[in-house]
Amino acid sequence: MSRIAGTRPVWAGPGRFDGGGVLLRHNRDTTAQAPGHGGGTVEAMTKTRSLILGLTGLILLTTACSGRSSATGAPSASGSGLSKVLFLGDSIAAGEALPLAAAFKASGVEFASIAADGGGNVVGPFSDKNWTKLPGQITSARPTVVIYQLTTYDWGSRQEQRAAYGRLLTTVSGAGARLVFVTAPPIRPDDFYRPHMPDLNRAPDAARAVAAGSSGKAGVLDARAVWGSTYRRVRDGKADRSTDGIHTCPQGAARFTHWVLTRLAKSFPGFTPAAPRAWANTGWSADDRFKGC
């Protein structure tokens, strides 16, 4: 349900946009109740207005740089090869899926997410259980592009990671889709994650190796362009990442969304992303999933 009145300010300012395992499940993958959202208050209207004003510089900058129209109506993505996107990942991806869904809808592209709290991984703990259903989920979704954001559970040796990512490529290709790996945001590891950081740090190279040998069927997007190489709580004076050191806040999720769509437009020339003002203020930022922001 869309709750515009409770929408948090997403943008930092004009032109500043770049950038089953219950026993092992990390408690940071559980969602918490967000502050209450009033309806029709002056404060709520002020937040909505600040969101729109913050978008103005970005919209003008994007239009000037790309030469594309900033119209808010959903364009057609037919002929681009990007008619339906399926998004895979863990609870970080589940939060990012909220603005992604709004942005792809505004861009005329079907979108579905099977990102999962406490898992969603194709290698590491509980991946065997995930694989019993994943091929069917991918095939039944009939995507043209599958995006897999590497998860905080992608634990394993280099060989295990490459084998799993190769298996994912085979599955996605067999469903007639292209695979896009996206590296995960850097985290602030605690005692739960610290022993597995060597695994998580080498996972992007394993994905790159699989993509390099895919004959163009897979690619890798390096999300350091969005997040940097280390966890950063605040960016441009606004909360970008959750205080839990793992998840994203609405501003970070929105920056990530804009970046993903912009990068996909380079790989799919017939795809024109909708202007941010078409999707940024549609209520998703009030979702209870955004905690610690």
Asked if residue 272 lies in contact with residue 68, where contact means CB atoms within 8 angstroms, the answer is: yes
62-90: average pLDDT:
58
Q: How far is CA 269 from CA 63, 148, 262, 266, in A?
A: 16, 21, 11, 6
Amino acid identity, residue 264? L
Asked if residue 40 lies in contact with residue 72, where contact means CB atoms within 8 angstroms, the answer is: no
Find where tokens 């009145």 sit.
Answer: 5
Both tokens of residue 97?
Answer: 């899926």
Per DSSP, what are the bridge partners of residue 180? 147, 219
The pLDDT mean for the chain works out to: 81
User: Which distant-in-sequence residues (6+ apart) come within 8 Å of 172 by Cβ?
Assistant: 138, 146, 178, 179, 217, 218
Question: Alpha-carbon distance 10 to 51, whole Å?
Answer: 6
The pLDDT, as a whole number, for residue 77 is 52
The pLDDT, as a whole number, for residue 265 is 96
The pLDDT, as a whole number, for residue 54 is 41
Cα angle 72-78-82, degrees, rounded to a multiple of 5: 90
71-86: average pLDDT:
62
pLDDT digits (tens, 9 = 90+) for 31-47: 333 322 233 322 332 33
Over its C-alpha atoms, the chain yields an Rg (Å, rounded) of 18
Residue 127 has pLDDT above 90, yes or no: yes
Confidence band for 166, pLDDT divided at 50, 70 and 90: very high
Residue 1 has pLDDT above 70, yes or no: no
Question: Alpha-carbon distance 77 to 151, whole Å?
Answer: 29
3 state DSSP class of 148: strand
12-19: average pLDDT:
32
Element (H, E) at 239: strand 238-239
Residue 106 has pLDDT above 60, yes or no: yes
pLDDT digits (tens, 9 = 90+) for 189-245: 999 999 999 999 999 999 999 999 999 999 999 999 999 999 999 999 999 999 999
Choose among 5, 17, 15, 14: nearest CA to 240: 17
Asked if residue 106 lies in contact with residue 72, where contact means CB atoms within 8 angstroms, the answer is: yes
Phi-psi region of 156 (alpha: psi -120 to 50; beta: other; left: phi over 0): left
Choose among 27, 158, 172: nearest CA to 86: 172
Confidence band for 151, pLDDT divided at 50, 70 and 90: very high
Confidence band for 81, pLDDT divided at 50, 70 and 90: confident
Question: Alpha-carbon distance 34 to 46, whole Å?
Answer: 19
